[in-house]
Amino acid sequence: MKAAAGVANQLGKPWVLDPTAVEASSFRLKACLELIELKPTVIRGNGSEIIALSMASIGSTKGADSLHESSDAVESAKSLAKSSGSIVAISGSVDFVTDVQRVVGAHNGVPLMQKITVSGCAATALIATFVAIDPEIAKSTRFSPWLALNFYMGNSLNLNHSTIQLVQNFGNIPMVAKPLYGILSDAIFIGGSHRLPCISIGG
């Protein structure tokens, strides 16, 4: 793991640390602390894992599952983000992500997920996929229009997940259908022009 992290660093590639059950033994804790020295781009753990890493101490354990609510680990996550320089994500009933200055929470999990082994690992793999495409993504606001709208629709308008998905898909239609307008407006001029209507309709 250390060799892989070292090569990733040499090549300037982002990598993600998943400290599975780090609170369960001093062997695991030592290994994870040594990996943190190698500057992971993101650390993703459940509440108990983030608290143990932040305090650099082992504690009571439920194996790979958490004994803590993710909200109990927010301060620990901020302090870990500060000491490590990594973005820290805590999974749980609310998924939190912090870079010290900001804390963002997502309320889109379902309780059944905590009973499925490796749903946390799957979250880590997805994070790795995103940072591999754009290492700045954890810090950037590139996806923020839909992200913010999704939180608004879920938390303030109380829309359920499938309705949010429908709104998002319909909202994307003008953009997705742009090539169609392009072909149509190349063939049919509106008001004597073809690019202008295409840009106005396709946005």
Which residues form the interface with ligand ADP (CB under 6 A)? Answer: 46, 64-66, 91-93, 95, 109-111, 113-114, 119-120, 123
Nearer to ligand ADP, 64 or 201 (CB): 64
Nearer to ligand TZP, 76 or 91 (CB): 91
Buried b / exposed e along 3-41 (16+ C-beta atoms within 10 A): eebeebeeeeebbbbbbbbbbbeeebbeebeebbebebb
User: From ligand ADP, ligand TZP, none, which one binds at residue 93 (CB under 5 to 8 Å depending on kind)?
Assistant: ligand ADP
Query: CA angle 194-196-201, nearest 5°?
Result: 100
Query: CA angle 176-110-68, nearest 5°?
Result: 130
* C-alpha separations of 39 from 12, 82, 101, 167 in Å: 11, 12, 18, 39
Buried b / exposed e along 169-199 (16+ C-beta atoms within 10 A): eeeeeeeeeeeebeeebeeeeeeeebeebbe
- CA gap 189, 181 in Å, rounded: 11
Do 35 and 43 form a contact (C-beta atoms < 8 A)?
Answer: no
Closest approach, Cβ 46 to ligand TZP, in A, equals 6
- Measured from each CB, the residue nearest to ligand ADP is 120
Nearer to ligand ADP, 56 or 64 (CB): 64
Nearer to ligand TZP, 28 or 78 (CB): 28
Closest approach, Cβ 177 to ligand ADP, in A, equals 32
Residues lying near ligand TZP in the complex (CB under 6 A) are found at: 20, 64, 117-121
Closest approach, Cβ 174 to ligand TZP, in A, equals 38
Candidates 3, 28, 5; CA nearest to 17 is: 5
Closest approach, Cβ 94 to ligand TZP, in A, equals 17
User: From ligand TZP, ligand ADP, none, which one binds at residue 75 (CB under 5 to 8 Å depending on kind)?
Assistant: none
Nearer to ligand ADP, 111 or 203 (CB): 111
Closest approach, Cβ 151 to ligand ADP, in A, equals 14
